[in-house]
Amino acid sequence: MSEAISIKGLIKSYDEHIVLKELDLSIPKGSIFGLIGPNGAGKSTLIGVLTGLLSFDDGYIHINEKHFIDENEAEIKRDVASVLQPPLLFEQFTSIEFVEYVCDIYEIEKQGLLEKAYSLMDFFEIKDFAKTKIHKLSSGSRKKLAFVTAVLTEPKILLLDEPFEAVDVISIDRMKTVLRRLKEKGVTMIITSHILEVVENLCDDIAILHQGGIIAYLDSVSRKNLQENSSLHEIFSEYVKVEGKDDVVDWL
Amino acid sequence: MFGRLLALNWKIFVSNLNKFQLLLLIGYIMFLGIMTVNLVGTAVVVLLLDSEPWMKMQLPWLTPEIYSFLLLVFANTYWLMHFSFTNLRLLNIAENRKLLGFGFPLKKLSKYLMIIGFCHPVNIIYNFTWIVFLMIQVSNFYQVLVGIAAIVFNYVLIYSIKHRFIKIIERRFIAVVAGFLFLIFGLFQAVSLFAENSQQIFYHIIPRVDTLNNFLSWSPGGLLTQTVTEEYGWLNAAIIFGFLCLLIGLIVVDHFHKTCEGLNNPTIKKEEQQTSKLWSFLRKVMGKNAGKYYYYVMIHPYNKLQLLTLAIVPVVYVPLLLQVKYEAAQTILIPTILAGIPVALLAMGMANMYGYENRELLMHLQFPVKLEKQLKERFLGVIILPLMVFYLITIFELLVIPQIVGVFKIFVANTFFFLCFMVLFIWSSYYQYQKATYTSFSYKHPIIPQKVTFVISFAIFTMGYFIFVPIPGLEWYRITIMSVVIVVIAVYLWRHVGFLVNLFKKQILTRLWTE
């Protein structure tokens, strides 16, 4: 299987603080890739770099076999959509204006777009807010709207930074349904999340990011072997555990 | 607990200020001191006007009726000022309501915030002046009690009305602002008329001064004065006092509930808005990027107010200045005011170009359109409207004030003025970025940083005098220098638009990511 995203020796720092330390990562085409890690591990920064919102200090990124440099930027971005945490939305637009605007920028066929948009909004129960200004929406509805819009732009790569945060259980199930459909269509997805059960259930390959580097890569085969004995939660705790911290709260 | 809350609010207030704003705060405190002295001083002077024998000699027309008339005019004008300047914007409700999450009881918080709100320094100064003004006139002890109750009642009533007025402003913003501006400028015109014909007007007023006094004594300032000038006895005083206390209690309780409500529902509830026609129009006319940006600029309430002011100020001032016989008013002041209009429009759009959208700009960066193209479109979009106004003004000046300068000269002067400010705004947009929110309306949260506003105001008039004041014999040197600077700025900007992208990535992007 060829790679949708290939990262080699990626370094990213904020001032003196190095967040990503010579990161190497390959994500197969058409897979759902789970990226988990404790707070501050660098997950959102990695997503930020892949979306082109953050510059990086060193290393190489190839997306769909195209080198991620300024010359290819627009071409690469056409194939990538994302849902960030917190989601990026145009607050003064209504939900439907936002969807239309973004799809227009991505040059999505206008015919049938509104029907698709409304049906997807209906699926996520935000159709009633189609003509409501975005700044009035709840955080869950905002997340769902960002997700709907990202899907409507017909991406080849979908980057999801904590997509299930603030979303109700029913909508999480529906998101999973949509993600599985997209996978069948060949879309590659990266998902970061702290809800390990969903990641375990949904993703093909999973990597644990800790202190700016990948400390464990679990492909479908290794996961099968490991999971006979333990859950993803236990594996994660085992890798990320910091010795001696339990003593600190003894006084409780 | 009250002391801690007060300290917290002070910290919130100060932490939102940068060093420059802190410096301004010192100036503001000094201003408050001067204002107190001025207000109290004026009140005392008006009161003691007739008690000085020397004044009676100097002002023989100052009969007891005219004196009462002056007192009532002062009291009512002062009441209008009190109403206009009563300040409601001391507290940051959004920050304070977080305390509810830490177990601070709602009713207690509401009560304390209400007390802090009532004690705004400006409001205290106005009430203090009322006390001085009324207490000097007191002749019986019961008048002291009723006078103070009336002052408190007056204050809570103004406070309460203004709270509701703010909601009306939000709903009927343009109508209210237009009405207010009309009132201000109408007053301005009336005062100028009065100043020119004062003798004639006084001649008409003096025979009717008793009727006027009768009318004025029933207006708000007059009623307050009556509480200490009329003799109404202890029984009536007790009834009035009791009734005023009851009303004060009711208004305070109502305000307390409103504060509770505000703490529970902090967002401004506006009517459901459907798809905007303005957005569709701007998108068609200016394109996706510039159109979206301009839409954000135009719907901000502060900019609506700016636009109205920009439309009304020249309509009032230019005809007035055209009537003035002094030629410098026409050749310097009118061109400066008019050249300031496109500059002010440019400031609206360009002085904080990224402050309206803030984090949303990250979404633009993800779009499959080069950032350079997006920024260029915005940049050109921002210039179009002021540029159109600029040409209209140039044509107007050539037609209406032919004595000002020749066609070429005025064109060069206005272009120079415009371009210099464009450079200033580019600097401001990148180096003075700040988030503009819906509430960016006040001293604490302006759209354009105060530093930039001061620089703009100062520069408009300084440059106006440098550019438009005629220098006999040296005019051509000045025109040549301005032309050269215009060419240099234009060529530089044209050839280096790419630098805006780098500057954006360097100055703005990281701040947006971490915002």
Give the model's pLDDT for residue B269: 46
Residue of A63, A68, A92 to mutate, testing the B interface (most B Cβ within 10 Å of its Cβ): A92
Among chain B residues, the shortest Cα distance to A131 is held by B274
Q: What confidence category does residue B271 fall into, taking pLDDT thresholds of 50, 70 and 90?
A: very low
A10-14, A143-147, B82-86, B173-177 — most confident range = A143-147
Of the pLDDT bands very low, low, confident and very high (cuts 50, 70, 90), residue B199 is low
Residues B239 and B306 in one domain: no
* Average pLDDT over chain B, rounded to an integer: 78
Q: Looking at residues B3-13, what average pLDDT do you find?
A: 75
Residue B513 is predicted with a pLDDT of 80
Does residue B341 belong to any structural domain of this protein? yes
pLDDT at B235 over 60: yes
**Cβ separation B365–A80 shorter than 8 A:** no
| B270 in a structural domain | no
For residues B508 and A166, what is the distance between their CA atoms, to the nearest angstrom? 28
Identify the residue among B274, B292, B363 best suited for mutation to test binding to A, counting A beta carbons within 10 A and taking the highest: B363
Q: B362–A75: do the CB atoms touch at under 8 Å?
A: no
Name the band, by pLDDT with cuts 50, 70 and 90, for residue B154: very high
Residues B258 and B287 in one domain: no
Residues in B closer than 8 angstroms to A75, CB to CB, are: 368
**Contact B370/A74, CB-based, under 8 Å?**
yes
Domain tally for chain A? 1
Q: Do A52 and B366 touch (CB under 8 A)?
A: yes
Whether residue A246 lies inside any domain: the answer is no
Q: Give yes or no: residues B181 and B308 share one domain.
A: no
Per-residue pLDDT, B375? 86
pLDDT tens digit sequence for B411-467 = 888 888 888 888 888 888 888 888 887 655 554 556 777 778 778 878 887 887 788
Whether A92 sits inside 8 A of B274 (CB atoms) is: no
Q: Are residues B449 and B395 in the same domain?
A: yes
Measure in Å the smallest separation between the Cα of B236 and chain A Cα atoms: 53
Choose between A15 and B231: higher pLDDT.
B231
Quote the minimal CA–CA distance from B304 to chain A in Å: 16
Same domain, B317 and B445: yes
Handedness of CA B375, B378, B381, B383 (dihedral sign): negative
Give residues with Cβ within 8 angstroms of A185, minimum separation 6: none
Query: CA of A77 to nearest chain B CA: how many angstroms apart?
Result: 5
Residues of chain B contacting residue A154, judged by C-beta atoms under 8 Å apart: none
Summarised one tens digit per residue, pLDDT across range B329-370 is 677 777 778 888 888 888 888 888 888 888 889 888 888 888
| Residue B479 DSSP symbol | H
DSSP string, A49-108: HHTTSS--SEEEEEETTEE-SGGGHHHHHHHEEEE-SSPP--TTSBHHHHHHHHHHHTT-
Q: What percent of chain B has pLDDT over 90?
A: 7
Which residue in B275, B359, B366 is closest to A51 by CB distance? B366
Local structure of B63: helix, strand or coil: coil
**CB neighbours of B419 closer than 8 A, spacing ≥ 6?**
B485, B486, B489, B490
Report whether pLDDT(B138) > 60: yes
Q: How many degrees, rounded to 5, is the angle at CA A19 between CA B500 and CA B511? A: 35
A-to-B residue pairs, Cβ atoms closer than 8 angstroms: 69
pLDDT of residue B204: 65
Q: Which of A53, A74, A92 sits opposite B362 (nearest CB)?
A: A53
> B316 in helix, strand or coil?
helix
Q: What is the pLDDT of residue B64?
A: 75
Contact A52 B365 (CB under 8 A): yes
- Domain end, chosen from B264, B291, B323, is at B264
- Report if residue A252 sits inside a domain: no
User: Which of A67-81, B53-67, B256-270, B399-413 is modeled with the greatest confidence?
Assistant: A67-81
**Rounded (10°) CA dihedral B183, B189, B195, B197:** -110
Kindly list the residues from chain A whose CB atom is less than 8 angstroms away from the CB atom of residue B275: 94, 96-97, 131
Instruction: Quote the CA–CA distance of B461 and B454 in Å, as a whole number.
Output: 11
Do B147 and B135 form a contact (C-beta atoms < 8 A)?
yes
B367-393 pLDDT, tens digit each? 888 888 888 888 888 888 888 888 888
Does A248 reside within a domain? no
Q: Higher-confidence residue: B237 or B316?
A: B237
Q: Looking at CA atoms only, how far is residue A196 from chain B in angstroms?
A: 26
- pTM to 2 decimals? 0.68
Interface touch A77/B367, C-beta < 8 Å: yes
Distance from CA of B508 to the nearest CA of A (A): 12
pLDDT of amino acid B440 = 53
In total, chain A counts a number of residues equal to 252
Residue A127 resides in a domain: yes
Percent of chain B with pLDDT over 70: 80
Q: Could you tell me if B153 and B247 are in contact, meaning their C-beta atoms sit under 8 angstroms apart? A: yes
Tell me which of A172-176, B226-230, B237-241, B493-497 is least confident: B493-497
On whether residue A249 sits in a domain, the answer given is no
Quick: pLDDT tens for B27-58.
777 777 877 787 777 777 777 766 667 666 66
The reply to whether residue A90 touches residue B299, judged by beta carbons under 8 angstroms, is no
C-alpha distances (whole Å) from B164 to each of B57, B160, B293 are 49, 7, 32
- Residue A88 to residue B366, Cβ atoms within 8 A: yes
Chain B residues touching A51 at Cβ < 8 A: 365-366
Residue B271 within any structural domain of the chain: no
Q: How many domains does chain B have?
A: 2
Q: Are residues B248 and B295 in the same domain?
A: no
Contact assignment for B360 to A74 by CB distance below 8 Å = no
Q: Is the residue at B269 inside a domain? A: no
B322/B391 same-domain check: yes
Tell me what pLDDT residue B180 has.
58
Q: Do B370 and A73 touch (CB under 8 A)?
A: yes
Predicted pLDDT at B321: 73
CATH number at residue A153: 3.40.50.300
Residues of B in contact with A80 (CB under 8 A): 366
Range of the domain at B387: 277-514
Distance CA B210, CA A140 (A): 68
Q: Which of B233, B264, B295 is the last residue of a domain?
A: B264
Q: Provide the residue range defining the domain that includes A74.
A: 3-240
Q: What's the confidence (pLDDT) of residue A17?
A: 87
Pair B482, B340 in one domain: yes
Mutation for A interface: B360, B364, B366, B506, most A CBs within 10 A: B366
B316 and B204 share a domain? no
Residue B270 has a pLDDT of: 47
Pairing verdict, β A17-28 and A3-14: antiparallel
Spell out which residues of chain A touch residue B357, defining contact as CB-CB under 8 Å: 90
Cα gap A88→B35, rounded to integer Å: 47
d(CA B365, CA B363): 5
Say if residue B82 is in the same domain as residue B207.
Answer: yes
Low-confidence ranges of chain A (pLDDT < 50): none
| Interior angle at CA B85, CA B82 and CA B90, nearest 5 | 125
Which residues, 6+ apart, have CB-to-CB distance to B213 below 8 Å?
Answer: B65, B68, B69, B72
Query: Is position A251 within any domain?
Result: no
Is there a contact between B274 and A131 if contact means CB atoms under 8 Å apart?
yes
**B231 lies in the same domain as B350:** no
B473 and B387 in a common domain: yes
B292 contacts on A by Cβ (under 8 Å)? 90, 101
Q: What is the structure's pLDDT at B211? A: 79
Cα B214–chain centre separation: 34
Query: How much is the pLDDT for A168?
Result: 93
Residue B55: what pLDDT? 66
In a domain, B400, yes or no: yes
